[in-house]
Amino acid sequence: MKTPDPAAQQAKGLAAPKATAPGTRDATAPGIREAAELAWGATDWMIEHGSAGDDLSLYHGLAGIVLALHESAEHFGDERYVRAVEAGADALTAGIDQEEGSSLYGGLAGVAAVLRAVGRPDAAGEALRRVRDRFDGRRWNEMFELLVGNAGIGLGALAAGDLELAVAAVTPYLTTADRTAGGVNWPVRPSPPRSHHVAHGTLGIVYALAAIGQAADRQDLIELALAGAADVVHRNEAGPDGFLVPHSDPPHRPELIERYSFGWCNGPAGDAQVFRLLQQVTGDAVWTELGDRCWNTVTQSGLPRRIRPGFWDNHGRCCGTAGVLALACDRIVERGDDFGFADVLVDDLAKHAVVDETGVRWSNYEYRESPPELEPVAGWAMGNAGIVRELLRYARLKQGGFGGYSVAWPDHPAVGVPDDAAT
């Protein structure tokens, strides 16, 4: 079975004319100009620093960089970026034989999704063939979640056009769910802690079950997704107006991992993305309300200020400011929010940007290291690739342009109908 490419479907909405270089493009508002200029310089730096090494992954490596380059090529119409996308796709294709990982964020499922998105369906199919051959009918490795395990592989297969493999990847969740006080959850790692959020926990599995269940018209998968979401909602500790759930129970590696986070990977900025998808799948307004509660918690948390050691030391898409900016822009499109908090986030990215003749990049901060300023990286999770996509989307929205991305990300819902346009 095959399913239409969701990336291609979303890209049809990118109808705004392509921009020229930030210094000459028709953008006069400071927020638009600054965001576009940062993204322009960050893309230049990414080209020079993001193609070395043998990391093909969507998370830190070349696959995530290629999608960011594609975003910049579509936005700016710069032939340098078009050529960089082609070179990156060539390198991904050439590396399929050597890639040992199968996962969405660390292996061939993510590579396949990217190759399909940039017009290499045959190479994407070869990557998926290898993923399928490594499947034992239950799982691919000891992890059983989104970043590394079945849920993410299913989403990668879905994005790459292979619905049959996507369904096969998530089917084992039907027989491995454990009943809880609020719903169900799953053993996501070999050790006892059950994680609750997107990256390594219940909500990442929920996302995959709901997305693939909808694509395959499998109500049993959707119902299981709702049971998993109910477990996480039951764990909310922020009262009726907020939403904050611990990282895991019992706590996983508490000497290193804080009990509560606020970003995409393990906090309400990512939880809200799952609730957005569930609203789209079910039409139930309760998920919109839960998304609003997540946003209340995020905006009242103090981020993006570093209010204490270990709090908000990251600018990236996985754990930091760019991931929150993604949700802010979703809400501008779908909920009619103003740009106030999105502006705060972009201003913070501008404040912390390292800018010189080589381009633009960001250094994350780890207070337990010496020196605490980490080396800038090009990849999606912690570096330029993830930030560039969000800056460009913000700049388009500021101009009244398309509210999505040129290429959909495998675990990010496409923007839905604005609330005031719903019938």
**pLDDT value at residue 29:** 47
pLDDT of 9 reads 35
CB 19 within 8 A of CB 75: yes
Determine contact, residues 213/286, Cβ cutoff 8 Å: no
Which one-letter amino acid corresponds to residue 181? A
What kind and span of H or E run contains 184? strand 184-185
Cα(367)–Cα(363) distance, rounded to whole angstroms? 13
H/E run at residue 325: helix 321-334
Query: How confident is the model at residue 2, as a pLDDT?
Result: 36
SS3 (DSSP) at 161: coil
Q: Helix or strand or coil: residue 200?
A: coil
Which DSSP category does 245 fall into?
-
Residue written as token pair 């570096």: 383
Return the structure tokens found at 326: 């993604």
pLDDT value at position 54?
87
What is the pLDDT, as a whole number, of residue 52?
57
Residue 6: what pLDDT? 36
Q: How are the residues of the chain apportioned to helix, strand and coil, as percentages rounded to the nearest 5?
A: 50, 5, 45
Closest CA to 249 of 192, 173, 206, 205: 192
Q: Say what the pLDDT of residue 50 is.
A: 81
The SS3 call for residue 277 is helix
Rg (CA), the chain: 20
What angle in degrees, to the nearest 10, is found between the helix axes of 30-49 and 340-352?
A: 40
Say what the pLDDT of residue 416 is: 77
Model confidence, pTM: 0.92
Residue (of 25, 22, 26) closest to 43 by Cα position = 22
- pLDDT given for residue 417 in this prediction: 63
DSSP 196: -
**pLDDT for res 10:** 37
Length of the chain measured in residues: 423
**pLDDT means per 10 residues in the chain (423 residues)?**
36 36 42 86 94 86 98 97 97 97 98 98 98 98 98 98 98 98 98 97 99 98 99 98 98 95 98 98 98 98 94 97 98 98 97 96 94 96 98 96 95 81 48
